[in-house]
Amino acid sequence: MKSIKVFAPATVANLSCGFDVLGCCLDTVGDEMIIHITSTPGVRIIKIEGADLPLETEKNVAGVAVQALLAEYGKEIGVEIEIFKKIKAGSGIGSSAASSAGAVWAVNHLLGTPFSTYKLVEFAMVGEKLASGNAHADNVAPALLGGFTLVRSYTPLDVIKLNNPKDLVMTVIHPQIEVKTSDSRSVIKQNVSLKQAINQWGNVGGLVAGLFTEDYDLIGRSLEDVIIEPMRSILIPEFQKVKDTAIRQGALGCGISGSGPSIFALSKSMNTAQKVAQGINEVYKKTGLDFDIHISKINNQGVKIMEL
């Protein structure tokens, strides 16, 4: 039996302007998983700690993602999965993506990397489809590839790893209310105006350019969402106050993390990220809601080996 323990990172999807196409990978928040390759064929979830998630393979995002990988691998092998959840479900920082990405990355590693990391994105998307009804890649791509990623196209899938300017630090506040991605997607109108589209694709281009040229002001100017944020922010208590506070404390930009309720703020230094954390902590203390605040550099590697 071959085994591996991995860190499966949390991710911030959308990054304001890039609904379903942009995302980045966190370093200090993530699940742990132990994966075993055995001689008894089939995929089995043998342990889940830290969350009430299904053990049945077909109902578990890690289970179906690994099944997709094995279907293409073609050889009869067995996989056993242990999941130690640290990222809460429905938090908006890629909980399901971490499980899917961590599982397929670990299995691929134990098999001697028959698949490229880009190919693993496709397998992990099967888990996302099970979790939210939609096979979006903007959490699994950064979880697998690290850094910042862009999904240039879904059909065919074309994922691009972007540059990761070294000074960026994320502050994420997670109010302890669950917002299901499927619910948060259902509030989005299916049509956008040409004016909104022009605004949004200008920002996507600006953000990508800003990341590559390491122009922090351009990154900040581009962290704007005129389409999704106005519809979803009503689901998040004190969203506007948190955003105003984060910007006042020096953040480059602030928006909804993935489908919420987490809110992210991107800063140019650890010092600013900590000031942002203090500011939003003051705002949220007054709500009476429980919340967590994470401060994290951008993880440029994605899934990491903890023990072989």
Which of the residues are catalytic? 128, 181
Give yes or no for residue 138 binding ligand HSE (CB under 6 A). Answer: yes
Footprint on residues 32-91 left by ligand HSE (CB under 6 A): none
Q: How far apart are CA 125 and CA 106, in angstroms?
A: 16
**Sign of the dihedral through C-alpha 65, 78, 5, 71:** negative
Q: Which is nearer to ligand HSE, 90 or 279 (CB)?
A: 90
Between 19 and 264, CB nearer to ligand HSE = 19
Radius of gyration from C-alpha coordinates of the chain = 19
DSSP string across 154-207: TTTTEEEE----TT-EEEEEEES----HHHHHHTS-S---HHHHHHHHHHHHHH
- Among 46-54, 61-69, 75-83, 135-143, which window interacts with ligand HSE (CB under 6 A)? 135-143
Cβ atoms within 10 A of the Cβ of 209, count?
13
For ligand HSE, the closer of residues 147 and 279 by Cβ is: 147
By CB under 6 A, tell whether 20 contacts ligand HSE: yes
Shortest Å, Cβ 282 to ligand HSE: 27
Site string for ligand HSE, 81-120 (x = CB under 6 A): -------------x--------------------------
- Tell me the C-alpha to C-alpha distance, in Å, between residue 255 and each of 92, 139, 233: 12, 16, 9
Q: With CB under 6 A as the contact rule, which of the stretches 11-19, 29-37, 146-154, 155-163 interacts with ligand HSE?
A: 11-19
In the shown chain, the binding pattern of residues 196 to 235 toward ligand HSE, with x for contact by CB under 6 A and - for none, equals: ----------------------------------------
Subset of residues 178 to 197 that bind ligand HSE, contact rule: CB under 6 A: 181, 185
SS3 150: strand
Measured from the CB of residue 187, what is the shortest distance to ligand HSE in angstroms?
10
Question: Closest CB to ligand HSE among 19 and 284?
Answer: 19
Minimum separation from the CB atom of position 68 to ligand HSE (A): 19
What is the rounded CA–CA span in Å between residue 286 and residue 240?
14
Q: Tell me which stretch binds ligand HSE (CB under 6 A): 1-9, 105-113, 133-141, 213-221.
A: 133-141
Shortest spacing between CB 170 and ligand HSE, in angstroms: 15
Q: Give long-range contacts, CB 8 A cutoff, 24+ apart: 289-293.
A: 289/175, 289/176, 289/177, 289/237, 290/175, 290/176, 291/173, 291/174, 291/175, 291/176, 292/173, 292/174, 292/176, 293/171, 293/172, 293/173, 293/174
Number of H helices, E strands in the chain: 10, 11
Which residues are registered as beta bridge partners of 297?
169
Residue ranges in 139-168 that form contacts with ligand HSE under rule CB under 6 A: 139
Give the interface with ligand HSE as residue ranges (CB under 6 A).
13-14, 19-20, 94, 136, 138-139, 181, 185, 258-259
